[in-house]
Amino acid sequence: MDLLDKEIDSVLFDLDGTLWDAASACAMAWNTSFEQCGYNDRIDRKLVKKISGSPLDIILPEHFTFINKTDYERIIELYKENEPVFMKNIGGRIFPHERDTLKILCKHKKLFIVSNCLKGYIENFIEKKRFGKIFTGYKSSGETGLGKDKNIKKIIDDYKLISPVYAGDTPWDYEASVKNGVPFIYAKYGFGKLKDMQYEIRNIRDILEILRINIPRHE
């Protein structure tokens, strides 16, 4: 389906790798959790970017193989305590041209965030980057206990959206979009790697061109 076939009324965004890069702070939170649980192993931001968007129950056995299964629950609880601290104190960086792009976009479309993150993570992002007036709503797996596909559906139902699109950077983002019959815009500048996507953006401001939103000269 061509996005121009019907009027798009809203854009739902993934967070990590699409709206900001907080991989360094995330790695610090994981490493602190490992240390508190008695492990000397460390991960770096490269691995964090690789696992971005994956549920915790997949991350632990597939990527943190040095952790004993008996410590999974303890590590997760520690991470849930540590992540908000590092995100609040350090956070992440938004991508080039993002602020100006979102300011323009929100005048034409309703904007939302849907992410497989802990409760409070999206709220911290919005507060830290002063995006309170930009986004209409958001859902996280930590808040609802649901996967990304079901949270996308929940946003669509709750806000009675007619023609949304979802912008993300990972295969999981794409799959969640497909499950909801929602057009997907691939953030190629992000963490994930996808091929042969119908719509892709190399810079977040490219989304304005895809949705045919004129950029004011003074912007």
Confidence at residue 57, expressed as pLDDT on a 0 to 100 scale: 77
Chunked mean pLDDT (size 10), the chain, 219 residues: 70 97 96 97 94 82 93 94 95 96 96 95 96 97 94 98 96 96 96 94 96 72
Q: Where are the alpha helices (DSSP H) in the chain?
A: 23-36, 45-51, 56-63, 72-89, 98-105, 121-128, 141-144, 148-158, 171-179, 206-210
What is the DSSP pairing of strand 10-13 with strand 20-21? Answer: unpaired
- Domains observed in the chain: 3-20+94-210 (3.40.50.1000), 23-89 (1.10.150)
Confidence at residue 219, expressed as pLDDT on a 0 to 100 scale: 47
Structure-token pair, residue 30: 């994981």
Confidence at residue 217, expressed as pLDDT on a 0 to 100 scale: 60
